[in-house]
Amino acid sequence: MNILGIETSCDETAAAVVKDGAEVLSNVVYTQIPLHQPYGGVVPELASRAHVEKIREVIGAAMAGQNVDAVAVTYGPGLSPALLVGLNAAKGLARALGVPLIAINHIEAHLHTPFLYDSGSPKVPPPEPDVPYLGLAISGGHTNWIDMERYGTYRTIGQTLDDAAGEAFDKAAKLLGLGYPGGPVVDRIAREYGCANLIAFPKGRPREGVSALAGLPASLCVSFSGLKTALLRYVESHPDIEVPQVVASYQEAIVQAVADRTRSALKLRDYRALIVGGGVSLNSRLRAVLKAVCAEAHVELKLALPKYCGDNGAMVAALAYYRQNLAGEKAMRLDAAPSLEIG
């Protein structure tokens, strides 16, 4: 079954055709990063206008020479005017082609990315049915630990109480004048600096019992807002900072916070694997540390190919093969859901 996936939740206009939830037949991503760079973050109105300008071309390129049996689209979470562009295009196309529409949650789609492989490359085994997986969705908008009792069921068991990990990277880069998005540049500078002589930044552990936990255990939650404040204070009180040292230390605080919560979550069940998805899963230090955490816990680590870590249509098309709870006329009636939760 070939599914066309369309993704416009943030600053990438993307479409892809994926066979049977795994084999990527085409994948087209048009990134708006240069458009938003001067503003140091995504400007929703600019994003939606750019999606409108590019969507036909991107979908056309993804569909060239492909048969399509269904159309899948991200309907949330994300920026409302941006989501609407993809959703409307997908509804129109599904009607025109006479194929079903399948609506997909963006975060759940990120968690499917480790199962994607390129056409002509070695196959990646599909998710096993009826075994538990731990998911870590880590992106510019989310940092969630998700218990999947079996593949395709989602329950958030831990999360950030404030900023997402990607946001923490982006805000630090902005503060230090390193540009947007911050993650890739922080990653590169920290990699060049190494892990010695680090400044001790807070590791984001929330206090037990605070109301923001909303019933979740503190051991599985993080708070990155204190880290950002600590960085600001450090920069203000040290006029001669060594930027690479600061950047490497800040990244290490984020990575160790994520590693610590992941270690705790892995103890909850006999998980088949840790599935990691989202833009921050590109971070080289995070990838290395999670590898060690999983080795120690004797749990398989499932990471996506770098090109499927950021936003793309392939993850939407692939998950749609497994998750068709919002399909057909049900999906046709859906509106964009900017604050859609996972599950």
Report the partner that residue 184 touches, choosing among ligand KG4, Zn ion, none (CB closer than 5 to 8 A by kind): ligand KG4
CA distances from 232 to 55, 175, 186, 219, 246 (A): 39, 8, 16, 26, 11
Please report how close the Cβ of residue 289 comes to Zn ion at its closest, in angstroms.
Answer: 21
- Is 31 or 66 the residue whose CB approaches ligand KG4 more closely? 31
Minimum CB distance to ligand KG4 smaller for 2 or for 105:
105
Q: In angstroms, what is the minimal distance from the CB of 20 to ligand KG4? A: 24
The interface partner of residue 187, options being Zn ion, ligand KG4, none and the CB cut-off 5 to 8 Å by kind, is ligand KG4
Binding partner of residue 77 among Zn ion, ligand KG4, none, CB under 5 to 8 Å per kind? Answer: none
For residue 305, the minimal CB distance to ligand KG4 (Å) is 14
Please tell me whether the peptide bond between 181 and the residue prior to it is cis, using omega within 30 degrees of 0. yes
CB of 77 to ligand KG4, least distance (A): 9
CB closer to Zn ion, 138 vs 221: 138
Cβ proximity to ligand KG4, 19 vs 302, nearer residue? 302
Nearer to Zn ion, 139 or 281 (CB): 139
Residues 265 and 134 sit within 8 Å (Cβ to Cβ): yes
List the single partner that 55 binds among ligand KG4, Zn ion, none, CB under 5 to 8 Å by kind.
none
CB of 44 to ligand KG4, least distance (A): 14
Please give the Cα distance from 226 to 6 (Å, whole number). Answer: 36
Q: Measure CA 338 to chain center.
A: 15
CB of 236 to ligand KG4, least distance (A): 23
Rounded (5°) CA angle 102-103-104: 115
Indicate which of Zn ion, ligand KG4, none lies near residue 163 (CB less than 5 to 8 Å, by partner kind): none
**DSSP summary character for residue 296:** H
Compute the distance between CA of residue 326 and CA of residue 314 in angstroms, rounded to an integer. 18
| Residue 310: CA count within 13 A, CB half-sphere | 19
Say what the alpha-carbon torsion angle 286, 289, 291, 294 is, to the nearest 10 degrees: -120
Nearer to Zn ion, 106 or 302 (CB): 106
Task: Give the count of beta carbons closer than 10 Å to the beta carbon of residue 64.
Answer: 10
Tokens of 306: 């770098």
**Chain positions contacting ligand KG4, by CB under 6 A:** 10, 139-141, 166, 169-170, 181-184, 187, 278-280, 282-283, 310-311
**Residue 79 · residue 42 · CB < 8 Å:** yes
Could you give the CA distance from residue 131 to residue 270 in angstroms, rounded to a whole number?
A: 9
In the complex, least distance from residue 24 CB atom to Zn ion, rounded to whole angstroms: 17
Residue 181: name its binding partner from ligand KG4, Zn ion, none (Cβ under 5 to 8 Å by kind): ligand KG4
Interacting residue ranges for Zn ion, rule: CB under 5 A: 139, 311
